[in-house]
Amino acid sequence: MLMDPASIAQTLNTAFPTGTVQVRDLTGGGDHFQALVVAPQFEGKNLVEQHQLVYAALGDLMRERIHALALQTYTPAQWEKLQ
């Protein structure tokens, strides 16, 4: 069963309610996605730990319905510097 970006974004918005989430389908096939997540939960965490938080939030979706996920994760302060 294929996923749509809105469903993934909704799941991530639930996990990171004070953050910013953007998800797009990279291939149009419903299984390769790119996600941008800016969240205060990433404060004090390295990049691997940040990605682990996102994978944990997606849970079984990562094992069953999402084949590939390119992640960009930032703390709000990191994101602000990029703007």
* Domains in the chain, number: 1
Per-residue model confidence as pLDDT tens digits over 4-63: 999 999 999 999 999 999 999 999 888 899 999 999 999 999 999 999 999 999 999 998
Q: Which of 75, 16, 19, 76 lies closest to 47 in space, CA to CA? A: 75
Domain that holds residue 15: 5-82
For residues 56 and 60, what is the distance between their CA atoms, to the nearest angstrom? 9
- Give residue 1's pLDDT: 65
Q: What would the two tokens of residue 62 be?
A: 């990562």
Report the SS3 class of residue 42.
helix
Residue whose token pair is 């084949």: 67
- Give residue 3's pLDDT: 87
Q: Read off the pTM.
A: 0.92
What is the CATH number for 42? 3.30.300.90
- Give residue 63's pLDDT: 87
